[in-house]
Structure 1
Amino acid sequence: MSVVSYRKSCHLLNHDDVIGTRRVSYILYMPLPHYLGWQKEWGGALELYPVKPGPDGVPEPEPVPAKTIPPCWNQFVFFEVQPGKSFHSVEEVVVGEGEDGRQRLSISGWFHSIQPGEEGYVPEDTHEFKSSREQLTSTQTEFKSYPDTVEPPLPDDPLSEAHLSFLSEFLNPVYLQPRTMKALAQRFVEESSLELHSFLCTPLADKLQLGLMEKDQRDGLGPDRVTRIPPYSSGGMARRREDGGVSALGQGSPDEAVRSLQDELFSSAAFRAWLAVSVDDPMGTAAGEEPERGWQNGEWGGWECYMAPNEEEDDPAVYRSGAPKKKLDMNVSANGHSKNHVDDEDMQEDSDEEDEEDGTLLTVQPGFNRLLLVLRDEGVMRFVKYVSAAAEGSRWDVCGEFEIGMVQEEESDS
């Protein structure tokens, strides 16, 4: 049992509460001040989600909750904990304490099942579905193989003229320079991750930025939206191209340009060859200076997190559910030289130690036109944090996974 105070920007990610022997979750609400009455537009509602079968048959929550329960003084809520079914979240609180001390205060906990040796114990059947916590440690990606007729590229193989010509339509030319690729490969071997700023070439990046901002504005997700918390019906995925496709720099819409990154760039043999050279032994960064606000400083949420698997009672859904902490970033500039900088002079000195204690391996703030490459070991949990109501637009991204393997080189006869 615990007492939890949700203040401005606090939230809870969607999860099913399945850890150990939990069987019933309960919450007693005591929002302050009790005489004022908590308003729905302040956020902080408990959201309960229906489920649907995923691509592999594993249940996953629908994007829109079936029921929302705003906190109310002396209200008691409970529900059964079921793997892959009892999905719920807490909506972001969008108001500060102000003069009247507003905060979403609650007492919450779980009732557990009877254990072996206790009176009334009955062995339970194995759960049919994985919990949300277990699902974070696996991948649901359906990998598509490259043609068997094409030999896999090796780190020492230079990019062909055809590959360079194709990639130059998409990538910042600095990332096609041999010196840069060599520096990135060395960094990836050391850190197992790369964060590449200004990854796409300027014409393509400018086109995407303008087009996606306009799309957000049309969908009611821009900085001038009326409601503080966007409705669930807002926005939508990029539309799929019609057969024939378009060039990323052609006259197609921003939706088509986004789709071209997924269907043409990242799945191409040329990008596969670039990866082989640039990450060598399958975090540094390559960056220009950017203003530290919004996405970059964590104010708008939406950052990506990788956590080590563990058998403790920790739930990734509650990891940093409040305001994010600052951290020390290691950067590699576009010419391959390294530099260190601290995001904030008031950074807590023990933040890195706390990350190690809670199993955090990597956290990365999103930023426009950045490529994140991470070597993810089996069992490592990956998730994206809640996008705050303070965000002035959507967190657009193109995601994918590559399987890696060892290449055995034949020994030459001497």
Structure 2
Amino acid sequence: MHFADEWNSGSRRQELRKEFEGGQPFPHLVLRPFLGEAGLRAVREELEKVDATEKETDLFRFFQTEDFAARLSKAATEESSPKKRRIEKKSSALESIARLFGSQDYRSLIQEITGCGELSERVDLATQVYTKGSHLLCHDDVIGTRKVSFIYYMTDPEEEWSKEEGGALELFPSNPARKGTPASIPTKELLPMSDSLAIFLVEPGVSFHAVREVRGDRARVSLQGWLHAPSLEETRNFGQRDLATLQQILDTRAGAGKVEPEEVEEPLADLGELTQEDWKLLSKWLAPSYCDPKQLQAVAGEFSESSYAVLAEFLRPDLAKEVSEDLEAVDAADGFEPDAEETVPKYDTGLCDGWELVGPPHLRRFLRYGGCQEGSKEATPHARLGKTMASLAEELFASDSFLRWLRACTGLDPRSRGRPQVRRFRPGMDYTVAAKAAGQEEEAAELDAILTFALGDSSCEKSQAEDLKGAASEQWASEEVGGFECYLAADEDEETVEAQEVYRGADTDGPLVNLPAVPNALCLVMRDSKTLRFLKYLSRDAPSSRADISASYRVDAPESSEEEDEGVGEDAAA
């Protein structure tokens, strides 16, 4: 097996070098055809017999086979043995393509096209299969000695891949205002056309890319590979390794990274006990059951057992209905109805009337309400939703009354006002990655309070079909469409970019607790410094956007014995 003769010409390689260097937002190139249709079909036929394991973390979801580098090594060993020389055996298509990508001919092609310099003989190869709903979030591929990334697409050759099927390789420009971070929106999309090879150099803080969620019924099949530098010091831009996206992720998971500067809150004085004035303010927002001291005692008992509690039907019904109707209207205006024709939404959808895009995308992407500017329209669904939720955040979540109420529910003393923020996660676009609270001290703890709104049983009118209500709630509960808050234990082993061969999370233990999107529910979770938190990528198949008010209050962690750890982790896992 060999690549197309067209790529052997010296003059053609010179043309490809210019095309590669002129690629935007960073140098890249696509070669097509690469193997030819016969070679492509032979590999596809054998892949149907190969087992693939589903991989899912905060960063990705897809199926992946074994590393074919091991297959390549085994084939080479067999070829060199006397017995192998005596008995001729036709190589399989997978062995042949593994040898091709590990050959000197292929390395020479890549070196001439990219100008990458010396390469070692090491090659990593694995097949990835993206079915409907699969995705890979923004990153730069910088791990170990990787120097060149290449993707050979083995999608169905019977019909050209279309944009509506999703699965595009997205290329992100660097953010000029923040070194080492990608801009929020990609500027180039490469569709996974069959028998094409995409190539780019692996460079920290530069080679930002992602795979858009697959939306069609056909699988996005590719062979993902990396060529390596002879040593770590010979990787591209070695002096900027601290800008690698994985290193930034690891920093946030260690509590050292900050996405943006945050104002340090002054510690609060003793809050005192709940008063009649507190109950009066709380009754303006909360359902009557949560203004009953006996109910709060029951919540406190549940919370003490597991370090978290989910309070259903939290807001007054009329207020919850108002927010739900506004969210439904916003989704309709943005084209997010379940039967909408737009299967691959645009990243600027919903950026209006006070809603701003939050990034950078290798750490998070969602909309946050910052308030309507003077003179803007206030009667739009977007403005109504934002203003109502902002009132909740400012008048309830940041109030002394609510802090005292939280203490009654959890037995914890809030030491800050939580910086409540109004967020919206759009289907097919938004998420956060696993991280600790920015700047969280080793012995500190935080009490998360998240009030969620989404399409589901309690947000639907009684006149609506029961199957619509049930289907929406079942989708959220299944976790198949994402949108859930996940808490998991941090890996205490020393982690660096050089130590990682896969993005963290692929082979770790399961989460401590997942909290699906439940309409009009308040989730209270205490997490210590050893607990990570993320909101799973929201699939385009989700029944609606997820809107929430999220606040994190500093608290004094309760004393624990040597056998008991603090936070949601150990209690929830027990």
Q: Provide closer, same or farther for how the CA distance between residues 393 and 179 of structure 1 changes in structure 2, counting only shifts above 3 A.
A: same
> How far is the alpha carbon of 1:370 from its aligned partner?
1.9
Identity among equivalent pairs (%)? 33
Distance 1:121 1:59 in 2: 17
Distance 1:170 1:60 in 2: 40
2:341 to 218, 226, 248: 226
The superposition leaves residues 358-380 of structure 1 with CA deviations (integer Å, 9 ceiling, x where unpaired) of 35222222122122233233364
Q: Provide closer, same or farther for how the CA distance between residues 80 and 176 of structure 1 changes in structure 2, counting only shifts above 3 A.
A: farther
Is residue 2:216 matched to residue 1:134? Answer: no
Is residue 2:503 matched to residue 1:315? Answer: yes
> How far is the alpha carbon of 1:128 from its aligned partner?
4.2
Q: Provide closer, same or farther for how the CA distance between residues 314 and 268 of structure 1 changes in structure 2, counting only shifts above 3 A.
A: farther
Partner of 2:476: 295
**Worse-superposed segment, 257-266 or 78-87:** 78-87
Partner of 2:134: 10
Q: Provide closer, same or farther for how the CA distance between residues 112 and 371 of structure 1 changes in structure 2, counting only shifts above 3 A.
A: farther
Matched AA of 1:93: V
Is residue 2:172 matched to residue 1:68? Answer: no
State the aligned residue count.
347
The superposition leaves residues 320-345 of structure 1 with CA deviations (integer Å, 9 ceiling, x where unpaired) of xxxxxxxxxxxxxxxxxxxxxxxxxx
**Worse-superposed segment, 392-401 or 11-20:** 11-20
Matched AA of 1:394: S
Q: Provide closer, same or farther for how the CA distance between residues 279 and 134 of structure 1 changes in structure 2, counting only shifts above 3 A.
A: same
2:307 to 178, 186, 192: 192
Distance 1:28 1:265 in 2: 53
Distance 1:7 1:112 in 2: 29
Native 8 Å contact 1:309 1:359 kept in 2 = no
Partner of 2:548: 397
- Structure with the larger RCO, 1 or 2 (CA within 8 Å, 6+ apart): 1
> How far is the alpha carbon of 1:296 from its aligned partner?
2.9
Q: Provide closer, same or farther for how the CA distance between residues 35 and 123 of structure 1 changes in structure 2, counting only shifts above 3 A.
A: closer
Native 8 Å contact 2:203 2:237 kept in 1 = no
Matched AA of 2:318: P
RMSD of equivalent CA atoms: 3.6
Distance 2:557 2:513 in 1: 25
1:174 to 273, 289, 294: 289
Partner of 1:375: 526
- Secondary structure at 2:301 match in 1: helix
Partner of 1:210: 325
Q: Provide closer, same or farther for how the CA distance between residues 407 and 358 of structure 1 changes in structure 2, counting only shifts above 3 A.
A: closer
Distance 1:95 1:123 in 2: 38
2:536 to 372, 385, 395: 385
Equivalent runs, 1:142-291 vs 2, <5 Å: 142-143=262-263, 145=265, 151-153=269-271, 158-236=273-351, 237=355, 238=369, 240=371, 253-281=384-412, 291=470
Structure 1: stretches of 5+ with no match in the other structure: 97-101, 244-251, 320-353, 409-414
- Secondary structure at 1:294 match in 2: helix
Distance 1:83 1:374 in 2: 35
Distance 2:185 2:479 in 1: 25
2:200 to 67, 79, 82: 79
The superposition leaves residues 1-40 of structure 1 with CA deviations (integer Å, 9 ceiling, x where unpaired) of 3211111121122333344444443221111x22222222
Structure 2: stretches of 5+ with no match in the other structure: 1-124, 356-368, 375-382, 413-444, 452-456, 459-468, 560-574
Distance 1:53 1:172 in 2: 47
* Greater helix proportion: 2
Equivalent runs, 1:104-119 vs 2, <5 Å: 104-115=220-231
Q: Provide closer, same or farther for how the CA distance between residues 394 and 165 of structure 1 changes in structure 2, counting only shifts above 3 A.
A: same
Native 8 Å contact 2:131 2:219 kept in 1 = yes
If you compute each CA radius of gyration, which structure gives the higher value, 1 or 2?
2
Matched AA of 2:250: E
Distance 1:7 1:42 in 2: 10
Native 8 Å contact 1:12 1:91 kept in 2 = yes
> How far is the alpha carbon of 1:219 from its aligned partner?
2.3
Partner of 2:163: 40
Distance 2:294 2:170 in 1: 50
Using the size of structure 1 for normalisation, the TM-score is: 0.72
Distance 2:400 2:540 in 1: 39
> How far is the alpha carbon of 1:83 from its aligned partner?
4.2
Native 8 Å contact 1:228 1:390 kept in 2 = no
Q: Provide closer, same or farther for how the CA distance between residues 50 and 122 of structure 1 changes in structure 2, counting only shifts above 3 A.
A: closer
The superposition leaves residues 95-151 of structure 1 with CA deviations (integer Å, 9 ceiling, x where unpaired) of 22xxxxx311111133344447x9x799943634363522542454725535x6x62
Q: Provide closer, same or farther for how the CA distance between residues 274 and 86 of structure 1 changes in structure 2, counting only shifts above 3 A.
A: farther
Partner of 1:249: none
Native 8 Å contact 1:25 1:81 kept in 2 = yes
- Secondary structure at 1:391 match in 2: coil
Distance 1:69 1:23 in 2: 20
Partner of 1:333: none
Q: Provide closer, same or farther for how the CA distance between residues 260 and 51 of structure 1 changes in structure 2, counting only shifts above 3 A.
A: farther
